[in-house]
Structure 1
């Protein structure tokens, strides 16, 4: 069971609705429930407001609550006034509110048990059993940590997301991913996501998975990893895609004689057509002119029919939509946009043209026919475009793209597999092990072989599923469908969730082809491969929830995360409001910006006011001071070390 599996959205709605219908229930429910017990961040925030209003003696009815939420800026974030009425309608019986609260509390405890397992494992790996026990008591009993602080409540997103399950990839890919992550001291998530993009580059457009009936999924993916500046994104990209650049050069060299021959043939045919046209134009005898014109027309058609192949291209970087469409037409509908930066998003939003143009990237993922108009040449139809996207972007870019016109509404964000790893900067090991030569050699040889095997396919190879594999897909569909309901856990990202099963199938296709480098096109995808793809899919589902939460976060929450990052980066244990204003003036220029942020961080248990300093007889009064929860400085745990046997080898 995963930490996200234990929740009951209907019970959460029923408790909140009961509190709105019968505020007296808050007096008893507040003794057993806290905001941290709610799974959905919006429900947790609303519970905080309801209990706070009740404690202040204010009315707790939909009108008053709605006005209060609007005043503090949380109304739209929680679903608007209509959602308050939805909550009241979701209550089967107010009398059963305590029963619903028990369901919520039970699920919260289950999530804590799962979280306890992860954190106990992390603490045990440090070799400090005292720390492990303290972590366990703090989580299970919700008791204070040894420092006297409570474990803080996450700011809407989950602070400890799952790590990329590299072991689910084929062995030659997993070994290299782990080695690159160790050498660069970066989260394994980054190398893992780029590895999937590399496999998609090699196989995209050259194979598709036949699920059942007319349902087929191409094997190209869009992956985006989110990491701050200085995270060595470029170094990871260079390692992961260098074999693709070598393969691209090899394909170009192989095609060079063919291109030269075609160019020469086209030039000769063009000259012959021009000469035939001149002869026909200068013919003195009308009787033979018609025949000469016919010969000239035939020569011109022959010259026009000669196609000079384009130089093979696997990868582009920061291209416009128009250029991407042109390259897709030249390359038989196959192309990858791989970059350690996110500039492509601004380009798609209209940085140069002033008008958003997403069609190529929407159709390039779905495989829908694309009409390409190019200057000086006839229009071309790309029957089944297969575009790969592999990017690493900064957190600010992630938040910006949510507001770019059409990105959410037209479905571009729904096509992206987001990875939001924990930042390892500040915890990196100096002098990390280099990538073993044999690991690099196997990765390079294998990825190059996959490119070469599939390079000549014009029509995609069809990869069927075994009967057991198809049953896995059906089980996955049954699991996902309830999550997509308006009240489901994925109800707020239904656009992304609707493409989730298809994404898992695409990942399965890539794993299959990477396991069978030279004959994967002739084999069916088995159940084990589907199971491995599902594990990777669950990873991306958890990270998608965090990514969309971050994209939809209000300004106060974004600022609070900035403050937390500053506290972590500077190892600050105490600070004053003046310190914060001075350090983060570019983010929060006034005290009015800081006050709601400090209130939010205090509410979530990250900070608390320090005892006020004595007021001096003269001069300015001291700035308000705060203490920092030691949990803020708990080390990140996303680095994946090489296994002992590989290190000793």
Structure 2
């Protein structure tokens, strides 16, 4: 069974008929209601007319809108949030910024209104209260320090402690201005923003994410990159971030959604950096390179339908209610059939990534596919039911759509990774041929496994890919069972 046989979703057309470089269309039918309608309209009006750019952008903003206020139990003690990491690879001038802006408009507008309300109605009062609290705390500190009577000093210190607690609480409220999103920020700045938001939920959004990768890789840090922070914020694991001269920030259940659009050269550098894979960061992403090009048009193009835009605005507004209630998230349940569909997909992924599986060499990536399927299912469930999503069980249809979407993204991910995957296999081939050369050109598969860390499935996979370089044959000894051996066919320097 080939890799494409295993992961390919039901047949979908090409984004551009007859174009050998085109990729299968985004499965628009998986986006329900207003979300699907908006994605179709974005694809119609933007420069590249790409439903991949449109569909992936809408999916990313749906995830960002829900935040931490909605979750689902996925078995045993596991709970999953709808926060997705989405990466779209596209050149400038192909409409990626247009798609990003159109999909994100209601999200951006809602944040702007929240910030304006805070700045006009809340911040002035907090500043005045904080000023009074600081002066009061300073006065009580002085009184406690000057009091020579132990009993009276202790009493004054208790008053000072309460005043200081009040000051700190007001300072934290002032620092907790509404922030739905961030751009190019260090993990220290990101942690501070997340600490002040409901459910510690923020979205990292950028239509030009080139600079973010350099920051993630530690451009401004002295102790390595920020990969671990992003991994924890994807999974909801607690973390602490130390800051110079300021108290550390402790996040209990961080919830970060990501939608990054990056140019191909920046993406190549990222995927060529093994640490971004080994850290687990890149495997968490739904990745697609739409290979988009600007397209010519004939005649005038009408704008997005008002009904479609109103429906999209309404849906995002409903989902933002969950974001604002992130401190006490609502929990959805999955129907038995939906849970079975997602469980079977998880089992498929496990079979594919374990030893002997078709994608064992891509295990870090495959390991995240089923988790992303649950996240996508929750996002689609929210898009289907809006602000009442917690009142309905996740349906089998939604689970099937989620699996189809993730299978589509997984195939796109493997396409992006194919060059690196081939290079990794070539390195293993060179290592295998070196072992064979050191052993007179012949080593049993059993000995390769026991002494050289080459599992039989890996050797056979290398043979399928580079059969011109060595061969696997059955060798019979004097008595006993025959054994399978790897033997060289060509000199090492010819590889």
Distance (Å, rounded) in 2 between the aligned partners of 1:426 and 1:246: 29
Where relative contact order (Cα < 8 A, 6+ residues apart) is larger, the structure is 2
Give the match for residue 4 of structure 1. Answer: 4
Q: Does 2:173 align with 1:308?
A: yes
Partner of 1:337, secondary structure, is strand
- Return closer, same or farther for 1:167/1:377 CA change in 2, 3 Å cut-off: same
Instruction: Rate the CA distance shift 1:553–1:435 in 2: closer, same or farther, 3 A.
Output: farther
Shift of 1:188: 1.0
1:39 matched residue in structure 2: none
1:164 to 26, 32, 41: 26
How many equivalent residue pairs? 416
Residue of structure 2 in register with 1:342 after alignment: 209
* Maintained 8 Å contact 2:342/2:403: no
Q: Secondary structure at the match of 1:200?
A: helix
Q: Which has the larger radius of gyration?
A: 1
What secondary structure is seen at the aligned counterpart in 2 of 1:380? strand
In structure 2, the residue matched to 1:504 is: 373
Asked whether the 8 Å contact 1:227–1:423 carries over to 2, the reply is yes
Structure 1 match to 2:235: 366
Distance 1:273 1:252 in 2: 29
SS in 1 for 2:387: coil
Counterpart Cα distance in 1 of 2:3 and 2:161: 72
Tell me the residue number matched to 2:63: 200
TM-score, length of structure 2 as denominator length:
0.76
* Deviation at residue 326 of structure 1 after TM alignment: 2.2
Deviations 1:182-201 (A, max 9, x none): 10132111121111111111
Aligned to 1:328: 194
Deviation at 1:205, TM superposition (A): 1.8
The structure-2 alpha-carbon separation of the partners of 1:235 and 1:216, relative to structure 1 and needing over 3 Å to count, comes to same
Q: Distance in 1 between matches of 2:308 and 2:84?
A: 25
Matched with 2:110 is: 247
1:180 aligns with 2:47: no
Gaps of 5+ in 2: 425-495
**1:342 Cα deviation after fit:** 2.7
CA deviation after TM superposition for structure 1 residue 275, in Å: 2.1
Q: Deviations over 1:429-469 (max 9, x none)?
A: 66433212221122122212211343123033222111111
5+ residue gaps, structure 1: 8-110, 124-151, 556-649
Superposed CA offset, 1:129-173 (max 9, x none): xxxxxxxxxxxxxxxxxxxxxxx9x8xxxx443211112112101
- Output aligned runs, 1:403-418, within 5 Å: 403-404=272-273, 406-418=275-287
Superposition pairs of residues 436-585 of structure 1, within 5 angstroms: 436-552=305-421
Q: Structure 2 residue aligned with 1:352, among 220, 242, 254?
A: 220
TM-score of the superposed pair, with normalisation by structure 1: 0.59
Q: Is the 8 A contact 2:287 2:412 kept in 1?
A: yes
Relative distance call for 1:204 and 1:550 in structure 2 (3 A) is farther
Deviates more, 1:368-377 or 1:413-422: 368-377
CA distances 1:96-127 after superposition (whole Å, capped 9, x unpaired) = xxxxxxxxxxxxxxx9xx99x958x957xxxx
* Within-5 A mapping of 1:16-55: none
Residue 68 of structure 2 contacts residue 323 of structure 2 at CA under 8 Å; is this kept in 1?
Answer: no
Provide the rounded CA distance (Å) in 1 between the counterparts of 2:232 and 2:57: 22
Over 3 Å counting, the alpha-carbon distance change for 1:346 and 1:277 in structure 2 is closer
What SS does the aligned partner of 1:372 have? Answer: strand
